[in-house]
Structure 1
C-alpha cells in the first residue's frame, strides 16, 4: 500500500525594519539562496496566469534540506546542487544552523518553525530524527485516516504560527489517508519601515501594466536618502527600503523599460541579484520614491516548478531514510504565499507543501532623484544576505 509523505512550508511576513548601512557580509549560503530564489521566482512567474507573484524559496530550501537527510542518492545529489553544493551532511548542518538562528529571533517580527506529523503506523528513522532535532522540528502523531481532522490540526498550527495570517493552507482533499509523514515549515515576518510613508500623501497615480495599458493605483510617496544603484547590463535600477530591526530590508528592482520585467527576471535567474544588492550605496541626494500599495496572493505548483530548477528525483526515487522499515517518495509539492505592502510596512506569507509517496554633507543639497515605480517590477525581502521572500508586481 502506498504511503504519503507531506512536506509543507508556511511563510508569512510583515514588512519591517533595517538600519542604514551594511554591517554584514556576503556568504556562500546567501549566494546559494539568492540564485535558487531567483530561479524559482522566474519559473513561478512564467507559469502564472496572474503575473503578480510572491514566493518564499527559502521555505522550500529548508524543507528540501531536511528531506535530503533521508532521501535516495540521486535525490540527494539534486538537492545538494540547489542548496549550494557540498556534502549532504554539510548542507543539512548549514541550513539547520540557519533555522536555529532564526528560531531565536523575537517572534513578534520573525518566526521560523518546523513541524513533523507522523502517522501512528510509522516511526521516524533515527538519523532523520536527529536532523529534525537540528532543525528544531516538533514531532507529533496524527491520524491521516481522518483527512478532515488532520487538516484541521495542521491548519490550527499554521494559524498560530503566522499570527492568523495563514489560516487554512491545507484542505481535506490535500490529505491522503495513506500519508505516512507530513513536514511543515513556517516563516513569519512582521515589521515596520524604518521611515514610514505618510498616508496623507498617498494618491491615485498611473501604473503602466504594459505599453498599451495604464491603470490607477494608490501610490505612496517618500522623500528620503536611500541606497541606490543602476545596472545597465541587468536593464534595471534598484533601491533599498530599510526596516527598523537590524539586517532586514526590501529591495525594489525596477526595469528600465515598461515591458522589461521578463528580461530582468531571466538575467537575474542566471546570475542572482546579491551582487547588485551589495553594490547599493547612498545616492548622494534624497530619492523621491513613488511606489504603489499592493497585495499579492499566489499558489505555486512545485511539482512543476522544482523539476525546472533541477529537482525532479524526489518525485520518483524512494527515500529510504525518512521512516523506519519503509520508503517514501514525494507525490505532491505546493506553496501558497501572500504579501501586502502599505504605508506602515508589509505582510508577506507563504505555505509550501510537498506530498511524497513512499514505496517502501553642508552646501545646498542637490535636487532629489526621482524613482517612480510605475510599471511592473521585482522585489526582494532580505535578512542580511539571505532572501526570505521574492516577488513580482505587474498590475
Structure 2
C-alpha cells in the first residue's frame, strides 16, 4: 500500500478601505451550514493542540481535499469523511463542492484564488473515476518523481508561491516528501480584501490587551466609530460585529467573549452549533459602534494528522483507498496546512461609510450613545463569502 500526501495551503490578507456600500442579500444553504460546523470543529482542535494560541486556518481547503479524497475511498474512511462534512449522500456532496470550486474560480483572482492540484507519481496512473472528480473540482493534474525529494518539494513550493503572490513560498521541505508516495493532493486559498469600513491609521494607538486575567500587554489598536451589524448572544457569552469588504459578499465576523478567559468555552460551543445561526441574526446595532480592534498578523503551520483523528477522521491514515490510482491502494501519510492572516488599516482613509442603515430620528431626538466594542481580550474571527467560511482563527496575545 503506497502513501498519499494531503497538503492544504491558505493565505489571507486585508487591505484598503472603500466607501459606497450596499448590504448584499446573503444566502444560507445546507452546504454553508455543514462547512460552518466542520470548520469550527477543526478550529477547536487546532487551537487546543497548538502551543501558540494565535492560530489561523482555512478549513475549507481541508474539507475540499477530503471531499475529493472520498471519491476514491470506501467503507469506514469514506463514512468518517462524510460524517465530518455533514452529508450521507456523496454524489450530492461532491456536486456541491464541484459547484463551489466553479463559483470561486469565476471570481476576480486579484482578490480570491481557490486552486486544487493533483501530483501523481510517474510510476502510477490515476483511476478514471478519481480523475473525473478532480477535473470537476477544477484541479490541475501533473506527474512528478517523488523519489527526487528536492524536485518534488520545489514543485509544490513554487506552485504555492505563484498562487499566494509569494506570501506562502515554502510550505513543505524535502523531509515532508515521502519518496514512496503515489500522489499528493494540494489546495490553495488566497484572499485579499479591501475594507469598506474606513480605518484611519492616524487613530491607531497603543492600548491594553488582556492576555488573561493576570497578564496585560500593549497592542496597536485600530479605531472606528460607525454603524455596523451587531449581535449579542448571552447563551454563548459573546458579542459580535460584522466588518464588510468591498468585494461582493465578503465579510469578517469578530466574536468577542464576554469574559477575558471565555474563548475556550466559546470554541466548545461553536464546535457544536457553528457560527452561522448568529451571523444570520446580526442586524444594524441601532447606534454607532465605537470599535477598538488590534491590528495583527498570524502565521500557522499545522500538522493535521492528529487534528483530523480528533474530529473522527482516522481511517484515511490506516485503510487503503483503492479508487485513486489504478495500480494499488493508497493511504494518507501526512496532512498539513500553512495559513497566514494580516489584518490592518493599510490604505484606509477617513471618509463616509454610505449605504449602512441609519437610525430613524425626529428633529427633536438625540442620537443614542455609541455602543463600546473594545476587542481587548482573546477572540475568534472568521472570514466568509456569503455563507461559506473561508478562514477562521483566534487571537490571544
Measured against the shorter chain, the TM-score band is over 0.9
Q: Deviations over 1:242-284 (max 9, x none)?
A: 0001100000000000111111111111111100000110001
Deviation at 1:298, TM superposition (A): 1.4
Asked if the contact 2:24–2:248 (Cα under 8 Å) also holds between the matched residues in 1, the reply is: no
In the alignment, which of 369, 375, 378 is matched to residue 380 of structure 2?
378
Partner SS, residue 125 of structure 2: coil
Number of the residue aligned with 1:95 = 97
Deviation at 1:72, TM superposition (A): 2.3
Between 294-303 and 156-165, report the one with greater CA deviation. Answer: 294-303
Deviation at 1:299, TM superposition (A): 2.0
In the alignment, which of 165, 182, 185 is matched to residue 183 of structure 1?
185
Deviation at 1:73, TM superposition (A): 1.5
Deviation at 1:15, TM superposition (A): 2.6
Q: Deviations over 1:280-322 (max 9, x none)?
A: 1000111010000111111222110111111111011100000
Deviation at 1:20, TM superposition (A): 4.5
Asked if the contact 1:34–1:272 (Cα under 8 Å) also holds between the matched residues in 2, the reply is: yes
Deviation at 1:129, TM superposition (A): 0.5
Number of the residue aligned with 1:56 = 58
Q: Deviations over 1:83-119 (max 9, x none)?
A: 1213222211111111111011100000011111111
CA–CA separation in structure 1 for the residues paired with 2:184 and 2:347: 33
Asked if the contact 2:10–2:337 (Cα under 8 Å) also holds between the matched residues in 1, the reply is: no
CA–CA separation in structure 2 for the residues paired with 1:155 and 1:332: 16
Deviation at 1:196, TM superposition (A): 2.6
Which aligned runs of 4 or more in structure 1 are off by greater than 3 angstroms? 16-20
Taking only aligned residues, the RMSD between alpha carbons, in angstroms, comes to 1.5
CA–CA separation in structure 1 for the residues paired with 2:320 and 2:82: 17
Q: Deviations over 1:207-239 (max 9, x none)?
A: 000110000000000011100000000000000
CA–CA separation in structure 1 for the residues paired with 2:144 and 2:187: 17
Aligned residues: 380
Partner SS, residue 367 of structure 1: coil
Deviation at 1:345, TM superposition (A): 8.2
Number of the residue aligned with 1:355 = none
Q: Deviations over 1:107-153 (max 9, x none)?
A: 00000111111111101000000000100111111111110111111
CA–CA separation in structure 2 for the residues paired with 1:112 and 1:237: 31
Any unmatched runs of 5+ in structure 1? 347-360
Deviation at 1:3, TM superposition (A): 2.5
Number of the residue aligned with 1:14 = 13
Asked if the contact 2:168–2:338 (Cα under 8 Å) also holds between the matched residues in 1, the reply is: no
CA–CA separation in structure 1 for the residues paired with 2:149 and 2:70: 26
CA–CA separation in structure 1 for the residues paired with 2:165 and 2:150: 22
CA–CA separation in structure 2 for the residues paired with 1:391 and 1:24: 22
Number of the residue aligned with 1:172 = 174
Number of the residue aligned with 1:219 = 221
Instruction: Give runs of aligned pairs for residues 122-141 of structure 1, distance below 5 A.
Output: 122-141=124-143
CA–CA separation in structure 1 for the residues paired with 2:268 and 2:66: 24
CA–CA separation in structure 2 for the residues paired with 1:82 and 1:68: 12
Instruction: Give runs of aligned pairs for residues 1-395 of structure 1, distance below 5 A.
Output: 2-15=1-14, 19-344=21-346, 361-363=360-362, 364-395=366-397
Asked if the contact 1:72–1:317 (Cα under 8 Å) also holds between the matched residues in 2, the reply is: no
Partner SS, residue 11 of structure 1: strand
Q: Deviations over 1:169-196 (max 9, x none)?
A: 0110001111111110111100111123
Asked if the contact 2:71–2:323 (Cα under 8 Å) also holds between the matched residues in 1, the reply is: yes
Asked if the contact 1:15–1:345 (Cα under 8 Å) also holds between the matched residues in 2, the reply is: no
CA–CA separation in structure 1 for the residues paired with 2:326 and 2:115: 24
CA–CA separation in structure 1 for the residues paired with 2:11 and 2:273: 27
Any unmatched runs of 5+ in structure 2? 349-359
CA–CA separation in structure 1 for the residues paired with 2:156 and 2:379: 34
Q: Give the TM-score of the pair, scaled to structure 2.
A: 0.93
CA–CA separation in structure 2 for the residues paired with 1:265 and 1:4: 33
Deviation at 1:362, TM superposition (A): 4.0
